[in-house]
Chains A and B, each alone.
Chain A
Amino acid sequence: MDKTAVKEMGRMIKKMRKLADGLREKAAGIQAVERNLDRISANITMLEINVSDVRDLL
């Protein structure tokens, strides 16, 4: 896989993180939103581990 594509994936993952964080701020304690965001956030972390952590080393 070429470096440009990996860097682009990294940028997209960053956007997902920002979007999830923004949604949490708007949730105002709604459990149905916050608890689902916990799970989404954990999956975003797995994308960060798999892609974002390594993209600057490629």
Chain B
Amino acid sequence: MQKNDSIYWNPLLETLPREKLRALQLKKFKRIVEWAYHNSPFYRRLYRAAGLEPGDIRTFEDIGKVPRVEKAMLRDVQKNEPFPYGDMLAVPRERIVVFRQTSGTTGAPVYQADTWQDWEWWAESWCYILYAQGYRDTDRVFIPFGYNIFVAFWAMHYAAEKLGCETVPGGVLDTDARILKMKELRCTAFGATPTYVLGLAERAKKLNIDPGRDLQIKRITVAGEPGGSVPSTKKRMEEAWGAKVYDHIGATEIGAWSYECTEQPGGLHVNEALFLVEIEDVETGEPITEAGKRGKLVITALDRIGKPCIRFDSKDVSLWSDGVCGCGRTFRMIEGGIVGRADDITKVKGVLLAPTAIEEAVRGIPELGDEYEVVVTKEGDLDKIALKIEIRPGKEGEQEAILARLKDQLRVKTNLGYQISVHPVGALPRYEVKAKRFKDLRKN
């Protein structure tokens, strides 16, 4: 194979002038709507009910006429045949070769069907991510993931292989064995949730292994939680591992649609060659095209055929960046990753609260441990918000000053006062995949 020093997985698409990118997106959007209309009973019903024919989409502005799909619709359609996916499928059931499901964080899981072509496409979209983050065929990539029904790092595994990396599956190994295997094999990269990246580092220290000194990890790709774009969490991870940490955003129903590149410009590139990402006002649904204004993400996977994902209302909240990345990619960026979810930005004591703001405050204080937990309850008509934290060993004597700084930061970042309780390190729950640190018990 010819030696290639390009920083792009595919320079044809990643540096395409923006007006041509838009033309490509429109062409592909029309194609996937046409495909879904003719092959998926669910989409045909949806579009006919809206009085929409595929031929009605002529311009970029026409895309807004296409009905959005919500997660509740994905759950509901699963009651139909063919089992267990329902008639959103756009291929015969026999063409489905991979089952995955969502984690069920927001309700009943959604079952995801993929053809082999879709699975190649998953790996392809992850190749864009890994290549942009500096992964090359000289890397030995460790996957400390429980290879199961969740898509999580399956796609990273296949992409790393496709890219030519030597890929080490850390499947059923426990955390200690994973750390020792990474050390033994001198692995250079791995992927995990931010929670587990910090958990691995904490555990390594208990094994008298300093990840930054004793392991050879150069880059880490995180997914599944917002922490990769929360500056204080990212700093903790990079310091613990002596490695660069890169964020990525994706979802089981959508695909791997966004990634940070090695420039780390404070935002993530949207892979606009494979996805159409729209940002809409949460209240009015009006499109937001200007930078700096928060809205919810509506996303289309432009090439996914088994169970098409067209104008999926992700409920994730983000904002466009007006920055131009030094990497030269023409893909537009979103600023600071996912900054919240339209359905978990909640009112506490009358104040709008995004849980990521608490994470930023807690992780910004180095004397605090990595774990924390927030519990919101109601006493009579009053909301109560409790925050459980851990103080690092050796710092207990500074508790009063640390708590004062924490309260200040919480006030600045969330406008709320908290009942704070201090727990010994290790007392709060540890997670391997997605953490559940925010518990709103008012809804129960």
Chain A residues close to B by CB (< 8 Å): 1, 6, 38-39, 41-43, 45-46, 49-51, 53-54, 57-58
Contact = CB atoms under 8 A, between A and B. Distances in A.
Contacts of A43: 120
A1 B117 contact: no
A50 B24 contact: no
Contacts of B274: 49
**Leading 10 A-B pairs by shortest Cβ distance:** A42-B117, A42-B120, A57-B20, A42-B116, A46-B124, A50-B10, A45-B117, A38-B116, A54-B12, A46-B120
Nearest to A38: B116
Interface string B1-38: 00000000011110010001001100110000000000
Contacts of B20: 54, 57-58
A1 B28 contact: no
A7 B189 CA distance: 37
B303 interface: yes
Interface of B: 10-13, 16, 20, 23-24, 27-28, 115-117, 119-121, 124, 273-274, 303
A49 B16 contact: no
B121 A46 contact: yes
A1 B120 contact: no
Nearest to B118: A42
A47 B201 CA distance: 40
27 contacts: A39-B120, A41-B117, A42-B116, A42-B117, A42-B120, A42-B121, A43-B120, A45-B120, A45-B121, A45-B303, A46-B120, A49-B124, A49-B273, A49-B274, A49-B303, A50-B13, A50-B124, A53-B24, A53-B27, A54-B13, A54-B16, A54-B20, A54-B24, A54-B273, A57-B23, A58-B12, A58-B20
Contacts of B124: 46, 49-50
Contacts of A57: 16, 20, 23-24
Contacts of A46: 120-121, 124
A51 B12 contact: yes
Contacts of B10: 50
Contacts of A49: 121, 124, 273-274, 303
Contacts of A58: 12, 20
Given A42-B119, A54-B24, 18 more contacts: A1-B12, A6-B12, A38-B116, A39-B116, A42-B115, A42-B116, A42-B117, A43-B120, A45-B117, A46-B124, A50-B12, A50-B13, A50-B124, A54-B12, A54-B16, A54-B20, A57-B24, A58-B12
